[in-house]
Structure 1
Amino acid sequence: MTVHDMEKAQATYGGFMATLKWAVPVIAVIVLIVVSLIAS
């Protein structure tokens, strides 16, 4: 891989991890709401 490709790969990975940090808690809250609705 060239240096430029590595920089693009690191930028993509960084963006993915930033999105994941927000998505996981949001999904967890949605799951808790759905489970509580099903349980009641």
Structure 2
Amino acid sequence: YRNMSFKEIAEATGVSINTALGRMRYAILNMRRIASEKNIVLTR
């Protein structure tokens, strides 16, 4: 889904755009939490 808009992701997965946005938000929060717990430094 890297080069897709949230609208395209929502259509491809059969969910609303708000659901797609929410899932991405919680995925990022969980990745940050796990990285922090394992002392992994995230860079851009």
Please confirm whether the aligned pair reaches a TM-score higher than 0.5, indicating the same fold.
Answer: yes
Structure 1: runs of 5+ lacking an equivalent: 26-40
Compute the TM-score of the two structures, normalised by the length of structure 1. Answer: 0.57
Aligned length: 25
User: Between Structure 1 and Structure 2, which shows a larger proportion of helix residues?
Assistant: 1
* Structure 1 segments (4+ residues) deviating >3 Å: none
Normalised by the size of structure 2, how large is the TM-score? 0.52
Aligned residues with identical type, % of pairs:
4
Q: Highest Rg: 1 or 2?
A: 1
Q: Which residues of structure 2 form unaligned runs of 5+?
A: 1-14, 40-44
